[in-house]
Structure formats: C-alpha cells, structure tokens
Amino acid sequence: MKAYFQKIYQDGFERFVGELEQRMDIEEKTFVITANPETLMIGAETADFDEILKSDKTMIVPDGIGVVKAAQMLNLPVKERVTGVEIVQKLFELLNEKGRSLYMLGAKKEVLDKLLERIDKEYPNIQVKGAKDGYIKNKDAVFDEIVDAKPDVVLVALGIPVQEQLIYKHYDRFDKGIFVGVGGSFDVLSGTKKRAPEFFIKLNLEWLYRIVKEPKRIKRFYVSNVKFISKIQRMKRETNEN
Ligand code: UDP
C-alpha cells in the first residue's frame, strides 16, 4: 500500500490534464489508474493487481476523497481529487481540438450508443476508431482490433480491476496511446446515470450520493473502507515511529 501512495499524483486536476495533453502531443504511451480506497484495497489483496498498481508503466490519480485524505494523513501533499469522469471529459475536448482518435470498450450497448451520439454532436472532430460494449465475451479479440487501430486514446469501462488487468495484459503491444480504466464514466457521460449534484461534489460527499443511489454498493463500500482506514492508521503510526 505504501508503494501506491508514493506514486499518487499530487498536483491536482489542471496540472494532470496539462500533462496528459503534452503526452498526447508527443505520443508518449500512458496508462492511468483512477483510484478510490476500494481500488487500493483490491490491490493490497490481489497479487496481479498489486503488480499493476506498483508498475512503472502506470500512473495513479486520486479519484476518491478517501485517497486524498489518506495521502494527506501520510504527509503527502496531494492537492485534490482527479476524477475519472473529469479526465474523460477533458480527453474528449482535447481529442476534438486536435482531431485525434479514440477507441472505447465497456458499458452496456445502449449506454455506449448514447455516448457515441453525444460525441458525434458535441465533439465532431474526434475520430472514433471503434466502440465495443463491455458484455461481449472475447475482450482479448477487441484488443487485437485496438492494436491495429492505433488510437490516441483508449478508454476501458469494465470496472475495477478487470479494466486495468485487460489494459495491462495488452499494453506492451502498443507504441502509443493514453489508456484509462474509467469505471462507470460512460454511464455518467452518456446521461444514463446522474453524477452527484455540484453541492455533494463540493462538500466531498459524492461517495454518499452514490451509496444512496445504489444501495447494493454499501457492503462493498463498507468492507473496503473500514479496512482501508485501519491500514492507513497503521501506516501513519509506522511513519511517526520512524
Ligand atoms: N461493465 C461492463 N461489463 C461487465 C461488467 C461491468 O461493461 O462485465 C461496465 C458497467 O456497465 C459499468 C462499468 O463497467 O459501466 C463499471 O462501473 P462501476 O461504476 O461499477 O465501476 P467501478 O465502481 O468499478 O469503478
């Protein structure tokens, strides 16, 4: 877990997307993991995902407020949340401005279709190289297609950790591309699911809104967050003792 925190992006959203733009311009291959406490707990308990989080190939950004607060408790100057939804929105803007290309994999077919419609209307200069829903069986075959398409941005929305495992498995086959595991972002950006009202986001209570909207998340949320907090407290004690 310590190793994850040492990698977490500290400088906030604007700087981060500035860096992504530069990377897009020089075609530097990039793999972004958006982390909430649950992501880090899955890493701590799953060997292959632990390897992915620790790898030099990946960047970790603090998507959840729990990750920002935990980092601050550990005396790391992490400025603010850098959320998956906002990264995707910014990437759409950049791709549109630059006339660059996109491939999307994940979410339900109707969600993806709605999102494609929105892209067509609002970001007409994006070259959409392909889009496949997340319920087709052979996702490795989709990656064969993505390798051939050489898109500038690849968004994978299958949930944690499957989306990262799949990207990681195929990552070395690419020479360029910004790869992001984006969880439920397609649901939000297609208009299918609402993001929390601004009020909740400002007060750092987006997590609460999500739980109230989707009570099936409570158990998952509770288990991983309670474990996360005790892990952070232990790490903090160790830091203070040293
Ligand atoms: N999903 C998918 N295929 C699957 C399981 C999930 O495409 O087999 C999609 C789902 O439709 C949703 C996203 O993956 O769009 C996961 O969203 P969630 O909010 O659960 O993500 P997380 O909380 O894991 O970031």
Rounded to whole angstroms, how far apart are CA atoms 1 and 40?
7
Q: How many angstroms is it from 184 CA to the middle of ligand 1?
A: 5
C-alpha of residue 216 to centroid of ligand 1, in Å: 14
Q: What is the pLDDT of residues 96-110, one digit of tens each?
A: 999 999 999 999 999
Strands, E assignment, 66-159: 101-106, 127-132, 153-157
User: How many Å apart are CA 177 and CA 98, to the nearest integer?
Assistant: 14
Kindly state whether residue 79 falls inside one of the protein's structural domains.
Answer: yes
- How many angstroms does the Cα of residue 108 sit away from the middle of ligand 1? 9
Q: Where are the alpha helices (DSSP H) in the chain?
A: 2-7, 13-25, 37-45, 47-54, 65-73, 84-98, 109-122, 139-149, 162-170, 185-189, 198-202, 206-213, 218-241
pLDDT score recorded for residue 223:
86
Average pLDDT over residues 8-21: 98
Residue 136 domain flag: yes
Residue whose CB lies within 8 A of the most ligand 1 atoms, among 187, 192, 219, for a mutation test: 187
Average of pLDDT values for 224-240?
A: 91
Least confident span in 49-58, 118-127, 202-211: 202-211
Give a yes or no: residue 229 inside a domain.
Answer: yes
pLDDT one-digit tens code per residue, 167-191: 999 999 999 999 999 999 999 999 9
CA of 162 to the centre of ligand 1 (A): 9
Average pLDDT along the chain = 96
Q: Which atom of ligand 1 is nearest to the CA of 36?
A: 25
Structural domain span for residue 128: 30-236
**Does residue 37 sit within a domain?**
yes
For the chain, percent of residues with pLDDT exceeding 90: 95
Nearest CA to ligand 1 atom 1: 158
Provide the β-strand partners of residue 153: 102, 178
Nearest CA among 95, 92, 214, 101 for reference residue 148: 101
By residue count, the chain amounts to 242
Categorize the per-residue pLDDT at 124 as very low, low, confident or very high, splitting at 50, 70 and 90. very high
In a domain, residue 19? The reply is no
> Shortest CA distance to 5 belongs to which of 48, 92, 69, 98?
69
What CATH number does the domain containing 173 carry? 3.40.50.2300
Tell whether 11 is covered by a domain: no
**Ligand 1 pocket mutation pick from 87, 158, 218 by most atoms within 8 angstroms of CB:** 158
The CA distance from 102 to 132, in Å, is 12
pLDDT at 10: 98
Q: How many domains does the chain have?
A: 1
- Using alpha carbons, select from 150, 19, 29, 159 the residue that is nearest to residue 87: 19
Beta carbons of 34 and 180 less than 8 angstroms apart: yes
Residue 217 lies in a domain: yes
Please tell me the residue having the least CA distance from ligand 1 atom 5. Answer: 158
Compute CA distances 118 → 51, 87, 111, 186, 192, whole Å. 36, 17, 11, 11, 12
pLDDT category at 224 given cuts 50, 70, 90 is confident
Question: What residues does ligand 1 touch, defined as CB less than 6 Å away?
Answer: 106-108, 134-135, 157-160, 183-184, 186-187
Reported as a pLDDT band with limits 50, 70 and 90, residue 241 is: confident
Nearest CA to ligand 1 atom 20: 159
Per residue in 65-78, pLDDT (tens digit) is 999 999 999 999 99
User: What is the pTM for the complete model shown?
Assistant: 0.96
| Residue 4: inside a domain | no
